[in-house]
Amino acid sequence: MKKAIVLGADNGYMDKVETTIKSVCAHNHNIKFYIFNDDLPSDWFRIMNFRLKANQSEIINVKISDHTLKNYRLAISYLSYAAYFRYFIGEFVEEDRAIYLDSDIIVTSCLDELFNIDLEDYWLAGVADYFDGDYTGGFNSGMMVIPVKKWKESDIANQLLQLTEQYHQTVFGDQGILNILFKEKWKKLGRLYNFMVGMDTLAQVVNDESWYQSSLPDSILPKVIHYTGDKPWYHLSKNRYRSIWWFYYSVEWSDILLRKNPIKGQLLSDFNTLIEPPLFHTAIFTDSCELEQIERLLIEFPQVHFSILAHTSFASSVIDLQQFSNVSVYPGFIPFTFDEVLKNLDFYLDINHGNQIADIISKVRALGKPIYSFDVTNHDDTGYNKVYEVSEIMQMIKDIKMYLGTIK
């Protein structure tokens, strides 16, 4: 029998749910996908079923047309009423067990451990929500292991609908309702099975430094990455693992199903395998939108990736620099981004007017990396920086190119 995975989506999330399915198929086979929806086209299901045959998998179009769901309050503006579709898992899934996944999830490993876990007498298994509003100690509903037969026999869908009618104005959407019904009746799993990367940003908002100190080290990749909060497909997103989502979004189905390059038997979750990666990296930490000669430098160094970071939001003039393919901007940057930028840094550009932030000059100096600056933007008083008049920009460019030639 195939293993059941359930996802809910509407037409606006079709490419997102397909990205999640790709990631599942990269590491799992013999899967029966149930897609709960009310407006996905049958054409898409025909195409997906044709693709999934090579994975010994299939996809089921489960239409849910109970539009009373649209009357229920949603916890966050970007959520869809499709979030409530998970209530009906016991009504439509034929297998005795199913894994439910939100459509903003990437799976990076085999899920057999979840399919085989002993649920004992619990009504589901899940991961504690790190920041779950009114329900301290509750679970996040984005990944759940569900005893389908038990849900079906107990008419869980009807129980959830009744609770939603009563509480939807006061709780955190479907997750709040599920936590009411299953309070202290769910099995706790480790956070690798639903790593809520949105906490990268939220911890900064609520000033929770413990998240940055206790979060996963770089050497450990979550088995299930849940892109809560800012989504990786947003114009600006500060959270980790953004490139992993883009990898699965971009990788060809043939590479997933036939396990060929760039996968090579074991999927390499690396966006750089699908693009021409930059040869070098530089950065600018700033509290000002005035970046001396920035466009000239971007044009002169197409092989260098420029990371521009600030503690606050950016002016439109900085945001618009993203028209250049070698720029990433990080407004309100988080500690993980800071560490990643410094780890990859080849040289630093001290070209921002205004103040120095994050003590960046001394940190780069401690790394032994060169710093290039203009006399009108220089923040170093030790003589370490290589300083140029603005009129000497061509000499600066020549010196940077000469330096890059030594480390190529």
Residues 317, 289 contacting (CB under 8 angstroms):
yes
- Give pLDDT, residue 210: 77
Q: What is the distance of C-alpha 4 from the center of its chain?
A: 24
Question: 196 forms bridges with which residues in the sheet?
Answer: 226
N-term to C-term CA, the chain: 53
Domain boundaries, the chain: 3-193, 279-407
Distance, in Å, from the CA atom of 212 to the CA atom of 204, rounded to the nearest integer, reads 9
Distance, in Å, from the CA atom of 143 to the CA atom of 57, rounded to the nearest integer, reads 20
Distance, in Å, from the CA atom of 318 to the CA atom of 315, rounded to the nearest integer, reads 6
Angle, CA of 137, 142 and 144, to the nearest 5° = 80
- Give pLDDT, residue 6: 98
Among 186, 88, 107, CA closest to 140: 186
pLDDT tens per residue, range 86-110: 999 999 999 999 999 999 999 999 9
Question: Tokens 């693709």, residue?
Answer: 51
Supply the pTM of this predicted model.
Answer: 0.88
Q: What is the 3-state secondary structure (H, E, C) of 305-335?
A: EEEEEECCCCCHHHHHHHHCCCEEEEECCCH
Identify the three-state secondary structure at position 7. Answer: strand
Which two tokens mark 313? 């939001």
For residue 358, is it left (φ>0), alpha (ψ between -120 and 50) or beta? left
Among 327, 244, 248, 251, CA closest to 282: 327
Least confident residue range of 8-12, 36-40, 128-132, 378-382: 128-132
- Give pLDDT, residue 298: 98
Residues 175, 196 contacting (CB under 8 angstroms):
no
For residue 234, what are the CA distances in angstroms to 154, 237, 312?
A: 40, 6, 18
pLDDT band for position 307 (cuts 50, 70, 90): very high
pLDDT greater than 60 at residue 135: no
Average of per-residue pLDDT across 207-212: 77
Query: Which residues lie below 8 Å from residue 268, measured CB to CB, with a gap of 6+?
Result: 262
Query: Which residues lie below 8 Å from residue 311, measured CB to CB, with a gap of 6+?
Result: 287, 332, 333, 357, 358
Average of per-residue pLDDT across 58-77: 73
pLDDT tens per residue, range 326-370: 999 999 999 999 999 999 999 999 999 999 999 999 999 999 999
Domain range 279-407, its CATH number among 1.20.1440.120, 3.30.460.80, 2.60.40.1080, 3.40.50.2000:
3.40.50.2000
Q: Does domain 3-193 have CATH number 3.90.550.10?
A: yes
